[in-house]
Amino acid sequence: MSNDGDKHAGLRLHLSSSCSTGYKCVYEHFGRFQAKRWVDGKEVCLGTFATAVEAAAAYARAVGGFQPPPPTVVTESEGLRLHLSTSNTTGYAGVTFYRVGQYHARTRVDGRKRTLGVFDSPVEAAVAYARAVGDKRRRPEDEDGDEAAPRISMAAA
């Protein structure tokens, strides 16, 4: 009998830090593991498996086994400091994958989503996001000197 490594050789399993099983679209279900995916706007169950690895392999087979490499993150572009995100697959806050080769840049204004545009690269979208929200995060190098202290002008009453 072959082990899991032999059965799933050549498949690239989709890891996830946000899922409790450690694999994308694999969920624990009554002591077993289900693999699910979305097809034409509907959730489709790929099956129930004894182990999370078997369910992850089923998911990898269903989506073609392709997992994009982690993005190369640029921290500054066009003179702007880009807003990085470790919880976003693009690596940038406010930037999401739109469709093959395109990325959305979005922000919130008064609690409502505002689309900033569709771009050909995540860096272009991150630049648009940085322009829209400005530099709301403090730079670590600014925290050393007195110049970083906020200046408040007091109006005469």
Cα separation, 84 vs 87, in Å, equals 9
Could you tell me where in the chain the CATH 3.30.730.10 domains are found? Answer: 76-136
Distance, in Å, from the CA atom of 11 to the CA atom of 60, rounded to the nearest integer, reads: 7
In tens, the pLDDT along 50-105 reads 999 999 988 988 887 554 555 566 777 888 888 887 777 788 888 888 777 788 89
pTM equals 0.43
Neighbours of 108 (CB within 10 A): 10
| Nearest Cα residue to 8 out of 47, 49, 40, 55 | 55
Q: Which CATH number fits domain 9-62: 3.30.730, 3.90.550, 3.30.460, 3.30.450?
A: 3.30.730
Write down the residue that tokens 């072959």 correspond to: 2
Tokens, residue 37:
């995916």
* Position 134 confidence tier, pLDDT thresholds 50, 70, 90: confident
* Domain boundaries 76-136, CATH class: alpha beta
Please give the distance of CA 130 from its chain centroid, rounded to a whole number. Answer: 17
Rg (CA), the chain: 22
